[in-house]
Structure 1
Amino acid sequence: MLLALKLKLFKLFFNPVFLSCVFSWFFAQFIKTIINLCLRRIHSIGELFEYLVWQTGGFPSSHTALVTSLCTSVAFRNGIESDIFMLSACLMMITIRDALGVRRANGIHAKTINQMGKELSEKNIIKYKPIKEVLGHKPMEVVVGALLGFFIGLAFSTL
């Protein structure tokens, strides 16, 4: 029983679809981290780790890279007429729409609310604690993430 579980986990970690998803996400995060290091936005090891593993927003979109890689890999393995491809394509469309629209709009709103709160706080009208500004993506960040994901998915599917 335990041996069968280990074998299934081993197969998962060598599945080309899984590997393309993980690699595309990590590579996009790595590029984002290098860019922020060059722009001197990272000031500590903690911030470096946060950018490398967790930071959202920025160039390129790691979410878009991951779902595009998933969609590309599934298309090569199962064909574009398969149900699993349709599911991955829908997931890709939802993720990209969210990155460009909802998350971006929320970030803009949070920034405006924080600015208003800061001004009211400076005038001693209210005490204001800033809310988190969730970063969405600009269209170019999403396009580059999609291209990155497509080419990584293509590489893992054909090699």
Structure 2
Amino acid sequence: MSNRGLGTALLAVGAAQLLKLPWHYARTGKWDWRKVVGSGGMPSSHSSGVTALAAYTATKYGIRTPAFAIASMLGIIVMYDAMNIRRHAGEIAIQVNDLDADVERLAGHHPGIYHKRRKEKLKESLGHQPAEVAAGALLGAAIGLLGALTARSK
């Protein structure tokens, strides 16, 4: 890839996605290959990618450059979104998915209440806990630094 910064960021995303598989296995004792392509979970691949790009840019070009400012702001927005907005949307999805069981339980006590169960559940694993974002950021920083230090100078 001719853009080493982009390649480093994409490598960090891929590494985080691959690490989700053994992490999930360690927690549950089950292999879930959907974790490799899914969102949410440990570590955050979004955080890993944007942090790798910022670390690469800072190391290669310095922290006083517009490129580092752009990479840093992108990282702040992405990590904020992952920990707050997307995580809360996932928590709401859990509550919506539980509504069917709640309505059916209530209907059992009130004959004549008809309830049609949803065919598909909403996706619940959307965002990240702060520890997942932090782990992704640490992984990304290490990969970004390594990418910059091993790049050829032009």
How far apart, in 2, do the equivalents of 1:125 and 1:136 lie?
Answer: 34
Q: Secondary structure at the match of 1:156?
A: helix
Q: Which runs of 5+ in 1 are unaligned?
A: 1-12
**TM-score normalised by structure 1 residue count:** 0.80
Aligned-pair RMSD on alpha carbons? 1.7
2:25 equivalent to 1:37: yes
Paired residues for 1:1-159 under 5 Å:
13-38=1-26, 39-42=28-31, 47-48=32-33, 50-52=34-36, 54-121=37-104, 123=107, 125-129=114-118, 130-159=121-150
Q: Is contact 1:60–1:142 with CA below 8 Å preserved after alignment?
A: yes
Aligned length, in residue pairs: 141
- 1:120-156, Cα deviation, whole Å (9 max, x unpaired): 1453542131322242111111111111100110001
Q: Secondary structure at the match of 1:36?
A: helix
Query: CA 1:121 to 1:156, structure 2 compared with 1: closer, same or farther past 3 Å?
Result: same
How far apart, in 1, do the equivalents of 2:134 and 2:71 lie?
Answer: 18
- Bigger shift: 122-131 or 134-143? 122-131
**Using CA pairs below 8 Å that are at least 6 residues apart, which structure has the higher relative contact order?**
2
Moved over 3 A (4+): none
How far apart, in 1, do the equivalents of 2:41 and 2:114 lie?
Answer: 34
